[in-house]
């Protein structure tokens, strides 16, 4: 649906919670979606690919990459502005939002928060402009929900802090992996888990695209192999020590998803409302039946309350008081709600809903990935459960 559609979010007057700049950014990204992304999204999804380099350049020109970071060519917007950009991008497709999340909240954030001045100056301006693409390698084939069991290792090639590093291992399910110029790779060292800035043209680094996906098809997902990758001593992110380093990057991306997933839900709901208004069943529009209206009302309630939660969490982050368990609560609630809404909207479309002509089933398929990545539903239930009870039930 386009920007003129009546939005179910008007019922919670979401606009009144945004400032002028946030509304302007939201509108700009919505226009980008309508003019330049929506015309191609079905084709990209069906082809199982996305023109990542071209999109990164377009996003960079609009200042969307690393937009809530300060300095080094980044726009320095509010957290809520970033969230609303994710919301509008994901209203087009979760894959398009993923490209921006991984670039800005994972790869750029890791360098911005934990990198040396040289890392920041070398990579961030080019990444903000979309001239360089980044990926973030944490997950491995046997270490997904539990990254502490990672096997990828980095060892010094000699004594002393000036010695080069050798990295061996592999990472799986890595967004942007085959199109990246730089990979932020997390590896086990004698000093715990550390992060490394790995230019992808380093000998021994290879990336292979994962095919046959039934979800997040408009996104590049890859396996990274690091076979004796030799890096200078200063390739290590100096300020990230232990698992807290990568996990704090996830907090950033997860918050974008709290807003983003409901973009896919909103688009599904707008599509269903429009369809139900036109579809005649038993001699009158489908939207005139109580059962349909009950579905639309329930979905609007979930969408609206989820967006209020998203903006509230965004404001807490801006105030510097957002805790990881609160991000988990938001991701748990909003992604699950979004998937439920997309599926319910599909039912309103009947058989038409199973074709690529309408977005809800594509969104639902994508949201299966969103439910899994950045911490599965179960991981976030356990994080919230731990916050409630004081007991860790992960192990």
The nearer residue to ligand TGC, 199 or 324, going by C-beta atoms, is 324
Distance CA 225, CA 168 (A): 8
Shortest CB 152 distance to ligand FAD, Å: 11
CA 298 to mean position of chain CA atoms: 26
Contact range with ligand FAD by CB under 6 A, out of 5-13, 38-46, 132-140, 237-245 = 132-140
> Which residues make Cβ contacts (< 8 Å) with residue 286, sequence separation at least 6?
275, 276, 277, 279, 280, 292, 348
Active site residue 223: no
Distance CA 305, CA 262 (A): 10
Tokens of 7: 């939005």
**186-215 residues near ligand TGC, rule: CB under 6 A:** none
Distance CA 302, CA 340 (A): 10
Site string for ligand FAD, 199-218 (x = CB under 6 A): -----------------x--
Q: At what angle do helices 244-278 and 324-348 cross, to 10 degrees?
A: 20
Work out the number of other CB atoms within 10 angstroms of the CB of residue 7: 18
Task: Please tell me whether residue 376 binds ligand FAD under the rule CB under 6 A.
Answer: yes
Sign, CA torsion 18/19/22/26? positive
Task: Please tell me whether residue 367 binds ligand FAD under the rule CB under 6 A.
Answer: no
Site string for ligand TGC, 319-348 (x = CB under 6 A): -----x------------------------
> Which residues make Cβ contacts (< 8 Å) with residue 248, sequence separation at least 6?
113
The nearer residue to ligand TGC, 2 or 242, going by C-beta atoms, is 242
Determine how β-strand 165-175 pairs with β-strand 74-75.
Answer: unpaired
Shortest CB 152 distance to ligand TGC, Å: 13
Site string for ligand TGC, 139-168 (x = CB under 6 A): x-----x-xx--------------------
The binder of 324, among ligand TGC, ligand FAD, none, by C-beta within 5 to 8 A per type, is ligand TGC
DSSP E strands: which ranges in 253-332? 280-281, 284-285
Contact range with ligand FAD by CB under 6 A, out of 45-53, 65-73, 173-181, 328-336 = 173-181
Task: Please tell me whether residue 379 binds ligand FAD under the rule CB under 6 A.
Answer: yes
Task: Please tell me whether residue 173 binds ligand FAD under the rule CB under 6 A.
Answer: yes
By CB under 6 A, the count of residues binding ligand TGC is 25
The binder of 378, among ligand FAD, ligand TGC, none, by C-beta within 5 to 8 A per type, is ligand FAD
Tokens of 271: 């599509």
Interface with ligand FAD (CB under 6 A), residue from 136, 165, 196, 275: 136
Shortest CB 173 distance to ligand FAD, Å: 4
Let me know how long the chain is. Answer: 395
Task: Please tell me whether residue 374 binds ligand TGC under the rule CB under 6 A.
Answer: yes
Tokens of 119: 């890392």
Task: Please tell me whether residue 379 binds ligand TGC under the rule CB under 6 A.
Answer: yes
Q: What is the DSSP letter of 235?
A: G
The nearer residue to ligand TGC, 219 or 292, going by C-beta atoms, is 219
**79-118 residues near ligand FAD, rule: CB under 6 A:** 102
Tokens of 264: 């896919």
Interface with ligand TGC (CB under 6 A), residue from 71, 232, 242, 277: 242
Task: Please tell me whether residue 102 binds ligand TGC under the rule CB under 6 A.
Answer: yes
Phi, psi of 227 (to 5 degrees): -115, 95
Q: How far apart are the first and last CA of the chain?
A: 45
Q: Of the listed 318, 357, 374, 378, which one is catalytic?
A: 374
Burial 144-180 (b: 16+ CB within 10 A, else e): beebeebebebeeeeeeeeeebbbbbbbbbbbbbbbb
Distance CA 254, CA 101 (A): 9
List contacts with ligand FAD (CB under 6 A).
102, 136-139, 144-145, 173-175, 216, 221, 369, 372-373, 376, 378-379, 394
List contacts with ligand TGC (CB under 6 A).
98, 101-102, 136, 138-139, 145, 147-148, 175, 242-244, 247-248, 250-251, 253, 324, 373-375, 379, 383, 394
Catalytic residue IDs: 374
């Amino acid at each position: 649906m386009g920007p003129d559609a009546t939005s179910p979010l008007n019922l919670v007057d979401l606009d009144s919670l945004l400032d002028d700049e946030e509304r302007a950014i939201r509108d700009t990204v919505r226009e980008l979606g309508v003019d330049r992304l929506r015309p191609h999204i079905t084709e990209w999804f069906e082809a199982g690919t996305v023109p990542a380099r071209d999109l990164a350049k377009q996003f960079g020109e609009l200042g969307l990459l690393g937009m809530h970071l300060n300095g080094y060519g980044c726009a320095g917007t509010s957290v809520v502005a970033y969230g609303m950009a994710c919301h509008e991008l994901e209203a087009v497709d979760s894959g398009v939002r993923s490209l921006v999340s991984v670039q800005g909240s994972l790869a750029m954030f890791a360098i911005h928060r934990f990198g040396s001045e040289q890392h920041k100056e070398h990579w961030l301006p080019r990444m903000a402009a979309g001239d360089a693409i980044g990926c973030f390698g944490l997950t491995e084939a046997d270490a997904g929900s539990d990254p502490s069991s990672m096997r990828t290792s980095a060892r010094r090639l000699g004594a002393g802090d000036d010695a080069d590093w050798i990295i061996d291992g592999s990472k799986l399910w890595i967004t942007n992996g085959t199109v990246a110029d730089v990979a932020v790779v997390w590896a086990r060292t004698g000093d715990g888990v550390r992060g490394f800035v790995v230019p992808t043209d380093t000998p021994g680094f290879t990336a292979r695209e994962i095919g046959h996906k039934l979800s997040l098809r408009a996104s590049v997902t890859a396996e990274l192999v690091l076979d004796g990758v030799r890096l200078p001593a200063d390739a290590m992110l100096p300020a990230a020590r232990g698992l807290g380093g990568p996990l704090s990057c996830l907090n950033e991306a997860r918050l974008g998803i709290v807003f983003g997933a409901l973009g896919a839900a909103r688009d599904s709901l707008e599509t269903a409302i429009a369809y139900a208004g036109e579809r005649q069943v038993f001699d009158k529009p489908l939207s005139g039946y109580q059962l349909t209206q009950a579905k639309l009302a329930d979905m609007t309630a979930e969408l609206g309350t989820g967006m209020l939660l998203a903006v509230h969490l965004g404001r807490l982050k801006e105030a510097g008081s957002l805790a990881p368990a609160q991000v988990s609560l938001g991701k748990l609630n909003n992604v699950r709600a979004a998937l439920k809404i997309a599926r319910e909207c599909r039912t309103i479309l009947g058989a038409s809903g199973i074709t690529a002509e309408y977005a809800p089933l594509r969104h639902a398929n994508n949201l299966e990935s969103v439910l899994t990545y950045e911490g599965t539903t179960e991981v976030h239930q356990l994080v919230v459960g731990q916050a409630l009870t004081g007991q860790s039930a992960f192990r």
